[in-house]
Structure 1
Amino acid sequence: MRAIILKEPGQFSFIEQEEVKAEKNKAIVKIKRIGICGTDYHAFKGDQPFFTYPRVLGHELGGEVVSISEGDIKHDLKIGDKVAVEPYLNCGKCQACESGHLNCCENIQVIGVHSDGGMAEYISIPLNKIHKSDTLSFDQLALVETLGIGLHAVNRAKLNQGEKVLIIGAGPIGLGVAQFSKLKGAQVCMADISGSRLAFIEKMGLSDSSIQVSGSLDDADLRAALGGDLPSVVIDATGNKNSMLNTFNIVAHGGRVVFVGLFQGDVTFFDPNFHKRELTLMSSRNCLPDDFREIISLIEKEVIDTNPWLSHRTSFEDMPNKFETFLEPSQEVIKAIIEL
């Protein structure tokens, strides 16, 4: 079985792996589509936390079930089902798992990050990590995980109808955050350094206002965009240290800050400012099984249209040569996908 491995930062190569074997409570999925995400780009550049080399990347997966090994896990899968893969393999035994926080299991193994992922012809996945759809395409199924990150962040923020939310970072994760913020009835302001990304989100109808950032966001920028107010919720999807630390200065008193992106370093803030605003700071990691099910239902009902997201494509064969080009700003990549 062929796979693509990231041997070290900046170096992909094809390898031959052993054929995937049937195991109890697992299914073998033939990979059809692989979404490329920020985690993959950071791994390629060598600045991804929780990562070791060499590694087969790929955790945004759409595929087809080709083999099922029965066991004690209840499921409704059958051979030939089109599926999205939930890539978060949790232990089921730790305190986090027992309290329902499967997304941040103490012993979590995210495929494509902690263990080898789906840039391969086939992958073996636990039955309870496979989510099927009778109607969605492989393209759509490969985007479910990306959308899940955004939905989980919005659920963490507990947005209210009409609430003013600032989303910093207009990449695929920020786009997902905007999608679900609008579905919650929030007033969305998007901020990014890229005018083309902001224009894309406005065209999608997912923002009420936008700010093209040239330096640091300040009160004046936000009050101008939000009718004189500051956002009561700031969701940062940049993974940029300066942007993340600045959120403490631009959120309304009594507000919430949610970090979706992350960086390798310490988060520090001026405590008197934090206290006088009585802020709530949250992180958001991965998503939950119910998020997968909700997103699949919303796409099936055409509440969410993922087609405009897919700006770039490559074949499995060409991926090692094309990958680095997706990092070029001139390419204006929204979401790139690999076809098998």
Structure 2
Amino acid sequence: MLETSMDLHQLHRAASAYYLDGLRQAEVADRIGVSRPSVSKLLAEARRIGMVRFDVLDVPTVDLTELAGRLRELLGVDSVRIAPGDQVQRDFRGIGDLLAVELAELAIGAGEVVLVSSGKTIHAVTGMGGMPRMPGAFIVPIVGGQQEPDPSFQTNETVRRLADRTGAQPRFLFAPARTSPTLWASLQADPGFRSVVDLWDGARAAIVGIGGPYRDRTSLTSVVPRGEPALASAAGDICLHFFDADGATLGFPGSEFLVRPSLETLRAIPSTIALAAGREKVASIRAGARARLFTTLITDVPTAEAVLAEAGVPLPS
């Protein structure tokens, strides 16, 4: 469902009158019985929540198919999808559109499980319209995140957003991203916790973000310590598994109590879709591929070109 505190029916009436019927804002105000400034607010809110969508298409400057093919070969992954333009500036709209295409092609059925991680990009795209319907499927958190102050790391809310957009059933993990030893032991014996974590095995797909290099991170879940020497060489992370430039995983004190899947579980998922955009993610993308933590990458043109350029791979003309 569309998330707003305003009246959805009034939003729809205003948007339909303005965008479909071609009325001026003053005429819309007369039709629905509100003031002219109120119409402006209604239209802005309709665009914000995705009730109204429009794009300014980029002029193609590169063959996206060839660019994706070269990046797929470099990374050694199953699939690469590339959105045109700079998706960081576009609030990841193009990446969300490509994720919708990927999920539609997977044809997730009733009873199948889609796992969802946390992070800025995933939080943005799971709130977008256009996602395929997946009635009867389960949307499940793949990491803990309860009580995180940053909404992008509140994994349960991200799960709820995607479930609302797809008609799937949400499942929630009532656990922080990192526990104390005592809480960890309690959770292992808790039937509610186990019923969710057990869904990780046999999941059909996972949607994950690729965190940037540890030393340069401006956005980081609160349970990962800042200035941790053991993570100084971390090129990035996926599902709280940190790895260096060669793809070797890195631990830190307390990481054994992180609520996350094992590497074996993560690598066994048939389709792990990684979302990443931004030049700061170049090293992280290559390292994550070396760690074999995703099968599909969705990114944008500037990021894809930067990854290829760093590796010395010629760009398509």
Which is richer in helix? 2
Larger radius of gyration: 2
Q: Which has the higher contact order (CA 8 A, sep 6+)?
A: 2
Same fold, judged at TM 0.5 (above): no
TM-score range, shorter chain: 0.3 to 0.5
